[in-house]
Each structure stands twice: as C-alpha cells, then as structure tokens.
Structure 1
Amino acid sequence: MVAFAWIPFLLACVSPLSSVAAPLEGLTTTASFKGTPVFPPINYGLLCELPILQGICTRVAAKGSSGIQVTTPIGTAQGVADGSGANRFAVKYASATRWAASTVATKWAFPTGATNASGLPLACPQPSVDPSTYTEDCLSMILYVPTSLKANSDVPTLLWIHGGSFIAGSATAPGLDGSKLAIATNSIVAVMQYRLGALGFMAPSGATNLAVKDTITAMNFLAKVVPSFGGSAKKITLAGQSSGANMIRALLATPSASSLFQSAILQSDPINYGFLNASTQTALQSSYNTLTGCAATDKACQAALSLDAILDAQVTLGDNAPSIDASTGSAEPIRPVRDGSLITTPLDLTAAFPSVNKPILLSNVKNEAGPTIFGMFTGVLAPSVFGPVCEASLGDDRTATIQASPFYNTTNVADTRIPLEALGTDWVWRCPTWSLARSWVGHGGKAFVGLYVTGATYPANNGIAFCLESGSVCHQDDIEIVFGTVPNPTPAQAALTTEMQARYKAFLTTGNPNVAGLSPWTAATTTDVHAHQLGGTPTPSGEVPVGACDPSFWGAAVDYDYQVFGI
C-alpha cells in the first residue's frame, strides 16, 4: 500500500510413452533379488538428459510423492496440482550475496524454507513482521500453469510484481494465487519476489537499483524455463500494482531490459513521486551507511550486520528521508533511481520523452487515496482544514490554484475528507497516469487507460470504514478482481473479474484489451486518454469524465511533485 508523502502477485504431453517417462523423473532405482542389489544403481533422471529421451521427458505429470514433474533446461521442476485446474511450481529463480547483483539460477531448486513441492517461499526481509516468515535468500517465484497446456503451446507469460512501497509484500500476499488467472487467460502466471528496502536499494558501495535488477534476472529465468511448461520466451508481459507498477515503469525506462518483455500492465502506479535522482540517492546512501556504522568499502562490517540492524537502519532512514532531501517524500523514500546507466529517462514531463513501441495498459481505482485519508483522519474534518492541509503538503502556490479551481470544492461539504481524498487520488495516482499515457502515445506507443469503479475490499483495507462503504474502491481493491480470488464475490464483482480476465487474455496475446462481446475500449490519444470505466453502471460513452486530469490543470497549472523537485 502507498501512503501520501504529504500526510504522512501440466499435464503431461499426450503421449503413449508417458507411462514410461513418468518413473524416469528424479528417481534413483536399483534392481534387486530378495533385497540384494544385482545391478549398479541407475539414476533415471539422468536418462532424461539423453537426446533420444528428451522428447519423452519434456512434460510429465507424475503422481505420487514427487507430485507433478516437468523437465527444464536447469533440472526437474517439481510442482503440485492445486485442484483448480492449474499446477503450482515454487522455485528459486536467482541467488545473490548481500548487496550484490543477482544471478540467474542454474539449477531448479525449491525456495528457501520449502522442503517439498508444496512448500511456498519465505518473504524477503521487511520490518514489523515475524522474522520466521522471511529470509535474506528470498529471490523466488511461484509459477501457475494450466493443466491443459501442452508442450510447445507457445502461450504468453504474465509476470506479476507485488506492491508494498518497496519495503513490504511477497509472492504469497493475500489474493495473489495465480491459478484462476492462469486458467482464464490460458497463460503461465508467475508471481515473483525481489529484495526489499535497504537490501534492494541501499548497497553501501553505492551500487543502485539491485531490486530492479532482480526483476531483470527473473525475466531471464523465465525466458529459459517457460518453454518447458508450454510458454513462449518471447511473450512475457509484466504486470503489477502500486510499487510493483512503479517497478515496471522503471523497467520501461531501462533500455537494456526492453527485449525481455513485450508489454506491460500498470495498476495504481504512484507516478507523482517520480524516480529518485542520483544526487538524492547519494545523500540517502551516505545517511544509511552512517546508521549501519559500516563504511562503503568495509565489506566485512557489512556482512556481519544482522538483519535486525539492517532493518532498523532502514526504518530510521525512511523516517528521516524528507529532511535529508524533500524530493523523497515519506511514502516511498526508498525507490528506483534514475542512475543514467540502468534507468536512463524519467518517463515524465520533466525531460524529453524517448521513442517507445510497447503496448501498455494503465489503470487506477476510484478511491486510491481512501486508505491514506480515512486511515489517518478517523473523524469528520471541517472545511477550514482543507487549506492548511494542502498548504503543508503542496505549498502556498499550488494550494491557491487548487482552491480557486472547481475540482475540489469544500462549499457545503460536511466532511472535508471527501475532497481531500479526491485531491489525493488525482494528485498521486490518476492524473499523472493520464499524463504518462498521453506522452507514451505521442512517442510511438499504444496505451489503454481504465478506472475501476467496482472493486473488492482488500484485507489491508478491512479496518478502514470508508473502504467498506458501498461505492468505495480503495487502493488495492483491484487485486482480487484481476486474480479472481474474491471470497464470495457479488454478481458485480464476478462479472468484472470475468471481464478483466478476458481483457487481460486479449492484451497478453495481442497488446489490445478489446474482446468481442464487451464494450469497446478506445486507445488513448495525445489529447484524450479515453479512460474506460471498469465495473459499475456504464456511462453513455463507457468512459470516465476527465475532471481535474485535463492536461491544462495537473501537470500544467498545478505541478506534480516530480516537476516541483525536478526529478
């Protein structure tokens, strides 16, 4: 979840030889007479490496103690059937020593903490959770593969990158079971983890964007293994929510990663914040090194740090970041850095926009700021509070323009939290997303923009009364809709899940979310993003009113934060 800077997720190949291939996978067998071996032990798994048998062993569904098995270029993948029509494979996709770049796994292995195919990965280290739930050796992912897939199916892969403000979250977070999404889209769904917080972004040596590089490593891993499961190495689409979408935007700004994926889906990206610039990162890094007591070159000191010490220093850095450099804000002070070598462009209104060609799908929810405003201010706010809050957050000049506009009127409003929530949603999420869409289209790409007006309350929002109200769709409330994991969905939620999974299936395949039988979703242009309403009672045009996201207001009359700070 993102908080404001300002207030404080196989069947065997049909072959008559499958009964022969099944016992070859991962078994070591010895012929015997009355219990005495008569031949040397034979490792039948090695036989699958022989060219004559590789066609037999490529895809095997073997039941028993080893569950589902698939031969990959890096060894036998063991998985489990989840009962829904998909098989699940948890795997370590990479390894990395502390504060070093990750490298692609060369052997298929269970995630740390898992002792068999049914085990799930431990999370990456993060504050305020039980240490038994995480491990530093956390570069793992879960693959969800429809049992209907056959060898050489050449289907797409959706790689999901979880949110959590770059300091929290995991591949096993609520709602991220990819089975139903994989089945509905006839794709492989991979849900990955990446190094969080200081371990992913604050290498004492000054090396930047280790977490971003983890996602690149994950894509290289998938390109190597998905053909074994029926996928195409050339049909990888990135998808993610909140900081996961922010990570994808960083990858869109990374020329060296461009060949690794064909399209992208960004849900609720807080684009207003922008990437950090190199000087800001240097200042944060210097402070972090001081907090840990380890010099940039003292590798022995760095290796000896406990995870508790690393996380404690991270929390302190996050608290102090706005006073070190105001451009960090307090919501995501640790985030991707435009370092000029990996991430080479801000992808915003502050610099020349690069030529692009990938199709992207950009979406927001109706009440992105609901958890922040109503989570922080638990009681009704008087109209007089609006101005001071805005001034403390946006400064006098931006506040004056906002108060003079018709978009956030506090006249005759009983609770000022309502216009504050609308302001926060437009400022941090919706309007900068629309600005990105216009720029993307204007420089060669294709973009489709949507807004969820129906959602499903995410577990993290259960304690926020506003998010439980009928009609509210808060930040994260789109996750379970997309994954099809809403518990006891209403007819409206079930219908939207069916629609979005159909649209995602089309987008994964063609780069266009339009599907026969569903209302037309018009692609964005440089002057009109044609934001498609997702759920609810359709407007006559099927589109969402522009409101304050007109290009003459946000990004022009009122600057985004990334414009204010020149990042």
Structure 2
Amino acid sequence: MYAADAGPTTIEAEVSGGPVIGRREGPEPGVSAFRGVPYAAPPVGPDRFGPPRPHPGWSAPLRADRPAGTVPLQLPSPVGTLMGDPADREQTEACLTMNIWAPGTGHGPFPVLVWLPGGSFLTGGADLPRYDGAELAAQEEIVVVLVNYRLGALGFLSPSWAEPAVIEGEGTSLRFRARGDSGHVTNAGLLDQIMALRWVKREIRAFGGDPDRVTVTGQSAGGQALAAMLALPQVRPLFRRAALHSAPLGMPPLSRAEAAGVADTFLAALGADGRADLRAVPGERILHAQRQVLAGPRARGDVRPPFQLVADGTVVAPDLLGALASAPPLDGLDVLAGTTRHECALWYGMDTSLGGMTRAEVAAEFAAQFGGRAGEALRCYTAGPADRPAWPTVFEELKTDAFFTAPTQRFGDLAHERGAAVRLFRFDWQLPGRYAALRACHCLEIPFLLGRPEARRAPVFADTDPADSAALRTEVRRLWGAFVRTGTPDGAWQLHGQVRPSVRLIGGGSDGGSPRSLLEPGREAVWGSPVR
C-alpha cells in the first residue's frame, strides 16, 4: 500500500521493481497519481520488434510525480486537433509504461479499471488529457490505470520473417518469447497490452487496488485487442470484467500475406537492407516511412489502418468472433459492450470529398457488403419521409454498422451464449453547433467517463452546454463505476440475452431507453442477426 512521503504533495508506493514516487492531485478528496510507471523493459535496441520483457527494476526511487508521463512514438493524429490533443509532447520508444490514479481516501483495496486506449493502432496513449483518470478515481473510488503500448510499425510491423510469439504459462506467470532467430514477433503491441495486465494483477495492490476486481476496458483499437485477448485462455485469469467501447470488430485482422505486403512497402520507403537495419534506424525514419505507407492509394472511405492486428494463428485468429466461439466458455465474466450511434461520422461527417456521392456509388457499396440482398438492405437504410436521401449519410451509416454496430451486436449475443453476463450500451448524445455533422461520433463518449477540464475545452465541444454535459458525465461515471465495483451498473440496466435482448441508451433524447438491438429498427434482419 502506498504511504505518505516526506513532502506534503508526494506519495510513495513499493512494487517489485523498486520504490515509486507519485503525487497528490485532483478534486477533493484527491487522488494519488503515478505517471510513467514501467510495466516492462524498454523495447529498444535488440528488443525493438521483440516480445515485451519484464523490467529489470531500479534502485533509486522512480519519479512518477511529474505532470506528464510517457508518449509512444507516433505521427500526429488526424482527429487530435478536434479532440484537443497536445501537439508538442515529447515522444519515446521507451513507452511501455502506465499512468495510475488511486483514490486518496486510503480505504482500499479498491476495484481497478484498466483502460487500453485506441487510435487505430497508430496514435494515442495514456497521457492525453481526455484519458486523465483523476476525476473518475475520486468520484467512484476506483483505481484507474491507462496503458501505453507500441504503436504503428513499432508495434505491428509484420514482415515475412516475423513469427508469432510463443506463449508460456498463464495469468501472472504468463510470458512470451520469440520463436525464431530474427527476434521479430507479430502483434508486439498486443503482447505489450497483455504484459501490462500481468503487471497490474501482480502489482496493483501497492497502489491500493484489488487484483481480484480488475476490469479491462478497450476503446476502438484497444477494444479490438481486448476481443482478441478474450479468446486466449492464458490471459483470462488477469481480469474479472471486460468492457469493449467502439471495437471495430467488422475490420478483420490482416492476413500474413497482407501484413507482409504492408511491410514490403514500409521497407522500401525506409530503404532498409536486412533485418539488422530495422533495429538501428532512428525512430524519425521509422515515422517517415510509416507516413509514406499511410499516404498510399486506397479506396474512398477506407479507414482501415495498415498497421494493426495480424492473424498469426497463435495470438490472433483470422476471425476474432469465431475464435471466441471456439475458446473456453466465458463463465463468470461480466461484459459491457457498446458503440456510439454514429461511429463513422468522425471520419465521414465532415469529409467534403464525399459530398458528391451518387445513388449508384452508394448502391455499389451495398452490393459489396450484402451481395444479392443489396436492394433490400438499401431500402432499409433509405426508408423515411425524404424523397432524396443524403447519400453520403447513407454511406456513413452503412460503414458504422459494418465496422462497429452489427459485429458488436453479434459479439454481445456470442458472449451471452458463451456464459458471460452481458450488458450492451449505445451512446446517443450528439454534438451541437458547428460540429453537429459529427453527431454521436466515434470517441465521443470518452470525455464523459475519463478526462480533465482541459479535455472538455477541446474545439469539438465548443458549442456544448456545460451544465448538460456535466450531468451526463456524472451519470456515465456512476454507471461505469458501479460496473467496475460489482458488474451491475444499476438495477434498471437489463442483462442482454436471447430471451430478452436489451440495449441501454446513454444520452440523447431517449436516455435510459432499452431497445432490443444496437442496430436501428428494421436493420437487424439484413445483417443476418435478427433480434429474437
């Protein structure tokens, strides 16, 4: 358990690696914040592209009491300006760290929320203002942990010579090793996240956390990673509950051939000759080559990241839901899963290049998705009083359902069938004013759960009523806090099941409502998962 240090604003915890100094901050009664705490050895030099290794530890107290932690090496985020992300953060490859906020009351052990951030496996990290956990930790008396992991090429480059890591042990004895001489493993960034969960299970008691009440929450790319973990029985002992926010389960992992093709393009841009060069080239050159890969041609509306999960047959399966269906049952697991109502509006809602989309172009997208049922599906998406539907909006809603809504609904059905206690949600609150075209877009729920006041002053919230958003923020934190503590958000939030399918609506005009599906009425059947 952490204890007061010599100074009035610092606090010390003792983990197996050595002493860690944090600081008191946040709203009353305050929290103890520890930023940049390492959970694995820095993945640099010979360990670049290798599996994460345990940290060797430190002798002098580790200073985790600074106002900022660690930022993984990455390119600027395309949506970072909208979300108020700082643009001048120092970055490092030595990024296998986490930020921890613990309630300042000292009445633990407290339940733990571990957040795996998103960003298309390309951007993001624990230190963004919208991920700050101080307010949530104080309001709900839980320990909040934000995890950094390797991003982009450093985390997910999979050339032809890369091999899946060997998984040994389970739970807190879990470890990884490289299979081949190259030391280059597939899905290194996912292995980082698993190593972080192992560290939390072993060490969180030092921060007042309860290792037997750990909830893992993955948002976007983090949610897709969590879905892959759920199919690995070696990982499941590391947490008690799981929450998936906006997981793009409709974007399958890359095949080995696809990933090798991306790697070939990357290596050509990098000018690397041989495997040793990859470990020696400066990080700036890694990012430059990554930028060139991202600038390559792609179909209109294609937002799939080129560096992401790779179906390697050991850690990640080609079909994440299929792997879950054949994995051991989920008995005893509490699951929360959901989406925002208009996920893809973040990418398409203000994309002027889509303004001229025609009915024929949109119909072609439906044909690619539904084949012989395309006409029926298109009628479902254009039904209504409008004589001339807004075709870009129809395209956007199709992509939202294809990438997020329909597969999350299937995930909820499957998790229930596999024995989990499942609750589904849809975040319906929409942006007003100048950013109204983004509607209830991807990432919009995050500042209602995490974040500090700085994040709520982001440009995207410029026209928001502070009182309205404050009330919703308190409610979201109350519901999620209760889930982390007990697995039951509140008595009115029904379990989802085959007999009584149910979704909790959050925010918007129907706040608290309970429709039968995440999909809009009338669309369930065309996605092959009709509500029973």
TM-score range relative to shorter protein: 0.7 to 0.9
Shift in CA distance, 132/361, structure 1 to aligned 2, threshold 3 Å: closer
Q: Give yes or no for contact 2:255–2:318 (8 Å, CA) kept in 1.
A: no
In structure 1, how many angstroms separate the alpha carbons of the residues matched to 2:401 and 2:121? 22
Q: Which residue of 2 aligns with 1:123?
A: 71
Is 1:421 equivalent to 2:364 in the alignment? no
User: What letter is aligned with 1:200?
Assistant: G
Secondary structure of the corresponding residue to residue 105 of structure 2: coil
Structure 1 contact 371–474 (Cα < 8 Å) conserved: yes
- Give 1:138's match in structure 2, choosing from 91, 95, 98: 95
Match of 2:136 in 1: 181
Cα distance, 1:238 vs. partner? Answer: 1.0
Q: Which residue of 1 aligns with 2:259?
A: 281
Query: Shift of the alpha carbon at 1:531?
Result: 1.2
User: Which residue of 505, 516, 519 maps to 1:533?
Assistant: 505
- The C-alpha deviation readout for 1:245-284, integer Å capped at 9, x for no partner, is 1121122122321111111111111111122233333333
- Residue 10 of structure 2 is matched in structure 1 by 67
The answer (yes or no) to whether the contact 1:454–1:493 under 8 Å persists in 2 is no
User: Are 1:479 and 2:453 counterparts?
Assistant: no
Structure 2 residue matching 1:225: 3-state secondary structure: helix
1:198 pairs with 153, 168, 190, which one? 153
Instruction: Please list, as runs of the form range in 1=range in 2, the aligned pairs for 1:445-464 lying within 5 A after superposition.
Output: 445-454=420-429, 464=435
Distance of 2:450 and 2:148 partners within structure 1: 17
Cα drift, residue 143 of structure 1: 0.3
Matches of 1:346 and 1:434, distance apart in 2: 16
Tell me which residue corresponds to 2:48: 98
Distance change (3 Å), C-alpha of 1:259 and 1:370: same
Inter-partner Cα distance in structure 1 for 2:511 and 2:10: 49
Partner residue in 2 for 1:494: 470
1:170 to 104, 108, 125: 125
Shift in CA distance, 200/331, structure 1 to aligned 2, threshold 3 Å: same
In 1: Cα distance, 2:468 partner to 2:402 partner: 28
Q: Following TM superposition, by how much is the alpha carbon of 1:196 offset from its aligned partner in structure 2, in angstroms? A: 0.2
| Secondary structure at the counterpart of residue 434 of structure 1 | helix
Give the letter aligned to residue 102 of structure 2. Answer: V
- In the TM superposition, residue 532 of structure 1 has moved relative to its aligned partner by 1.0
Name whichever of 162-171 and 339-348 sits farther off.
Answer: 339-348
Secondary structure of the residue aligned to 1:71 is strand
**Aligned pair partner of 1:401 in 361, 368, 375:** 375
TM-score, length-scaled by structure 2: 0.80
Q: Does 1:466 align with 2:437?
A: yes
- Structure 1 residues 100 and 380: CA distance shift in structure 2, 3 A: closer
Pair 1:80 & 2:23 matched:
yes
User: How much does 1:308 deviate?
Assistant: 2.4
* Pair 1:373 & 2:335 matched: no
Instruction: Give per-residue Cα distances to partners, 1:385-421, cap 9 Å, x unaligned.
Output: 1331442575385483355432334852463333333
Q: Which residue of 2 aligns with 1:4?
A: none
TM-score (norm 1): 0.75
Task: Give 1:119 deviation, angstroms.
Answer: 4.3
Equivalent positions of 1:293-308 (< 5 A) are 293-294=271-272, 298-308=274-284
User: Which of 198, 212, 215 is 1:220 aligned to?
Assistant: 198
Three-state SS of the structure 2 residue aligned to 1:175 is helix
Q: Which has the larger radius of gyration?
A: 1
* CA distance 1:291–1:390, shift in 2 (3 Å): farther
Q: Equivalent of 2:485, from 472, 497, 509? A: 509
Contact 2:249 2:320 (C-alpha < 8 Å) held by counterparts: no
Contact 1:532–1:544 (8 Å) recurs in 2: no
CA RMSD, Structure 1 to Structure 2 (Å): 3.3
CA separation of 1:293 and 1:253: change in aligned 2, threshold 3 A = farther
**Native 8 Å contact 2:253 2:318 kept in 1:** no
Distance 1:255 1:280, change over 3 A: farther
CA contact (8 A) 1:426 1:548 kept: no
How far apart, CA to CA, are the structure 1 residues paired with 2:187 and 2:88? 24
Amino acid at match of 2:413: R
Q: Distance in 2 between matches of 1:65 and 1:504?
A: 32
1:437 is paired with a residue whose SS is helix
Give 2:169's aligned residue.
Answer: none
Q: SS of 1:423's equivalent? A: helix
For 1:145, give the aligned amino acid. A
Read off the aligned partner of 1:143 and give its amino acid letter.
I
SS of 1:223's equivalent?
Answer: helix
Q: 1:343, CA displacement in angstroms?
A: 2.5
CA distance in 2, matches of 1:449, 1:396: 25
SS of match in other structure, 2:19? strand
Structure 1 residues 211 and 379: alpha-carbon distance in aligned structure 2, compared to 1, 3 A threshold: closer
For residue 94 of structure 1, give the secondary structure of its aligned residue in structure 2.
coil
Letter in 1 for 2:483: F
How big is each residue's C-alpha offset from its partner over 1:447-475, in whole Å with a ceiling of 9 and x where there is no partner? 21111112568xxxx974513xxxx3221
Please state whether the residue corresponding to 2:349 is helix, strand or coil.
helix
CA–CA distance in structure 1, aligned partners of residues 53 and 402 of structure 2: 38
- What's the CA shift for 1:138? 1.2
Structure 1 residues 310-348: Cα deviation after superposition (integer angstroms, max 9, x where no partner)? 12222333444869xx9x954223211232212347232
Conserved in 1, the CA contact under 8 Å of 2:151 and 2:189? yes
Q: Structure 1: which 5+ runs fail to align?
A: 1-57, 558-567
Could you tell me how far apart the structure 2 residues matched to 1:350 and 1:72 are?
35
Amino acid at match of 1:198: A
- Quick check: 1:341 aligned with 2:314? yes
Q: CA deviation at 1:195?
A: 0.3
- Partner residue of 2:461? none
2:127 corresponds to which letter in structure 1?
A: T
Change in Cα spacing, 1:203 to 1:425, as seen in structure 2 (3 Å) is closer
C-alpha separation between the residues in 2 aligned to 1:484 and 1:197? 24
Letter in 1 for 2:154: L
SS of residue paired to 1:424: helix
Counterpart residue type for residue 492 of structure 1 = D
Structure 2, unpaired ranges of 5+: 78-86, 163-184, 458-463
CA change 1:93–1:109 in 2 (3 A) is farther
**Matched residue SS, 2:350:** helix
Secondary structure in structure 2 of the residue aligned to 1:81 = strand
Letter in 2 for 1:401: G
Name the CA distance, whole Å, in 1 between partners of 2:407 and 2:495: 17
Alignment partner of 2:237: what SS? helix
- Asked if 2 retains the 8 angstrom alpha-carbon contact of 1:408 and 1:422, the reply is no
Q: Distance in 1 between matches of 2:362 and 2:3?
A: 61
Alignment of 1:228-377 (within 5 A): 228-294=206-272, 298-320=274-296, 330-344=303-317, 346-348=319-321, 352-354=325-327, 355-357=329-331, 358-377=333-352
Distance, in Å, in 1 between the alignment partners of 2:295 and 2:105 is 49
Alignment of 1:440 with 2:390, yes or no, is: no
Displacement of 1:299: 4.2
Q: Percent identity?
A: 24
